[in-house]
Structure 1
Amino acid sequence: MAGTRGLHAMALVLIMFMAPLAGCFGENDGNAVVTVDDAMVTPQVMTAGVFQGVTIVAEQDLSAFIPYLIIDEETNYVVNSTVVDLRAGEQVQLSMLAPPRADMGLILLGDYGRENWPIRDANESWATWYSEGGHKSADGGAIVRMGQENITLNASQDTGGPAAAYPLTFVRPVAPAYSSDEGSRHSTGLVAGRSTYNYLHHLTDETLDPLDLADGAVGYLNRWAGQANAAYEDAAVYLINELEAFGLEVITQRYEFTDVFGNQNPESYNICGFRYGSEVPDEWMVFGAHFDVAPPANALLLDPHITGTRTYGTGVGAYDNSAGTSMVLTVAEAMSAFETRRTMVFCFWSGEEGGKRGSDYWTDYYVKEDNPDVTVTNYINLDMAGVNWPGGGGAPHGDPATTVDPDGYPKDEEVWPMRVYLGPSLDHDVINQPEMVG
């Protein structure tokens, strides 16, 4: 019994002796486990679709991986994801963009100075990844941080092991001016589908306007390129005014071409708005769409839905290409306020219906000859995007037809698939929009 009491006494002495040293060893052994209780993130309910302040407070030493667009407070650049290191008691405030089409998000937490982090696959949402335990798995996608101050994130094969996942709720408000059927669920945020629709509606508005001598309509119709077409010139002035209102420098390039009848046509021109980069202004990221439309090509110059015969052009051009024009306007309005390393250029091409004349002229002459030091690093073309037209059937019994009409326009066998996926609808992780063609 005496020996047993001696062992107990020795154990108690060792426990008391080791207690003051436990923290010292714990800081260096790398085995401390960070949990969601070791940090506080506010607000926990974020407004989706806009940049807003997010504060992370550390209860113990930790690192946090924020996998969303962030505005760097030193450069004012928008960066894609970042990692911050926080000692116990420290906090950091970030300007973060909560995605507009997600209901929840995550901030991952790990040991202080952690370099490798798990991430979702490109074809799944963070919500799906989280629900399937992706943050607990050592497999799957991963990134690695490079540097301690000017952090960049690169793809990696090493996830670094499990990470704590701090959940956030994203809520996208609806504009009270619109009903659900009118797009209220997509009417707010930095970029909103309703804004694109408003541009599209304005460009294609066929309401009669007897005071408009260009096309007799509220919108901008019949804007086929060249031949001193007043409607085309009217639409060009509208686009120039919009780009200038966004604070962009607008540069136009008129050019001459020979039309199909052998006539010289000096009246076409491109319109581009420039937001110059602050570090590498000679590297250009270009967003482009042609804004000319095709005139009806039948003998009576009538809309093919009226004649019921296969022809070319409508004079309105909602699909080809007021849709793309509206998307470039929306993007230009949203992005023109941001500082960028490279120059952003928002262009509206002319003469596309005659064979990409405008964009060819711009690249062959304006870029290569007039600006030989420029490199176009990225180009996004928005042409006939987002509308499932013609959809089949056509005149004389509507789009789409329920029965085959061999004389209808467009032909039922010419049904086109949707070029750009507009969904999903209520399920953010499932491609299930009704009538979608795969």
Structure 2
Amino acid sequence: MKNRIQTLLIALSLLIQPLSGIRAQGVEAVVSQIETEATENSQLQALAHELMDVIGPRLVGTPQMKKAHDWAVQTFSGWGIEASNEPWGTWRGWERGICHIDLLAPRVVSLHGRQLAWSPATPPGGITAGVITLPMVADSLAFARWLPQARGKWVCVSMPQITGRPDENWEEFATEESFEKMKSRREAETAAWQQNLRNSGYTAQTLNQALEAAGAAGILQSRWSNAFGANKIFSANTEKIAVVDLSLEDYGMVYRMAEHGDEPKIRVVAESRELGRVPTFNTIAVLPGKELPDEYVVLSAHFDSWDGGTGATDNGTGTLTMMEAARILKKVYPNPRRTIVVGLWGSEEQGLNGSRAYVEDHPEVVAGLQALFNQDNGTGRVVRINGQGFLHAYAFLGRWLGAVPDSITRHIETTFPGNPGRGGSDYASFVAHGAPAFSLSSLSWSYWNYTWHTNLDTYDKIVFDDVRNNVILTAVLAYMASEDPQRTSREQAELPLDPETGKPREWPTPRAPNREGGRE
């Protein structure tokens, strides 16, 4: 069942049977204190500045990631919460350095761009070379004949965009005929580009290695995010030559120069450093349970990020939510009935590795899990909660949501029993083990285009009112889950049919973490 009336029904049932056995005396007082502390003494902006502005992006294997872990432990300790960094593996150590990209001919201008994660460095003075674009080829033999021309050149490997304006900008200002004409042309050019790549015998994942083997000076790309000024920033996928991402505007200019025979020349200075194998961590904070210490409520967020921006909405805001909720609970609920754990996971971006390692290393937490609450998808207020396929999730989540202020629950739609998450964020690592873990899914705020893994994922995109909303929700849910006299049910609902097989879908199976990452 899925509707906003559920919240009213929950509240009504609580009036008839107050909190279904939860120690009702004092619940309203504790919830009021949580709301007051979150509103009148919020630490969110100070924490966000320290984490995003000062420490910066948190790419796994970088010194900044380790600095963030140490900062979190120190911050928790300052609040009187015991915390530590738990090692779970190693990763390729790498540190971003200064990156400068300049067009030297046919005119001089500094270009907007950056080195990709784990990209090899250039020599100290940089690399100055001409620019070449990929040819149109009929087959892989034709591409192999062309490859020697890439030697000593910066090679453009991304399709140039025909417009730097997002579709919503066209919808607002263009004529309908002009908009449709642009979309038709873009669709045709995209199809032709993809077919040409297939003709070459390579994929987007293998092309860079082929160019590297052919002696290219470096790789130029532009992975536009369909939003003004936003590019997706991922990894280089090379061993010896630098890969840089240019803004849509500068990439298009350089590409057109090369296509028109203007002989563009570019100098790139990229001062990254390889650091060998480095340890990876999860930061774990604990508020010990006084009555049921072997039962657990987990506040979950991944701590790592890509490093195009500073990881503000992916997942700085989730991290801030869990840290601030823990601070408030320590202050207003210092003696929890069950143990409350805060898990700030490492290497979520490379496959939920930190949380998958934690469930392997801590079977006692999985076995004793009362509930896990995870927040990951941006800065917006929580608007959806899914029962994750647990048949009786409505019963206990309903009890807990009934104590949350109506100003928060009125925005939330619920789906019960829902379907189990199979990936996407760290709650799935626990769900795969049959443990009740839930995603607090938030409002978009154009997350996908503007901040998800882009160069624009920075402090200024945080909507603090919405994050504060999520802090209150998380703290109240954690309090209610901790106090509930009943253990949560793990009975699984019958899953819907798989349209491909005609049989019921199976519950997701646990997957092992990559404990020796970055070797590709």
TM range (shorter): 0.3 to 0.5
Query: TM-score w.r.t. structure 1 length?
Result: 0.39
TM-score (norm 2): 0.34
Higher Cα Rg, which structure: 1
Question: Of Structure 1 and Structure 2, which has the larger fraction of its residues in helix?
Answer: 2
Greater share of strand: 1
* Greater relative contact order structure (CA < 8 Å, 6+ sep): 2
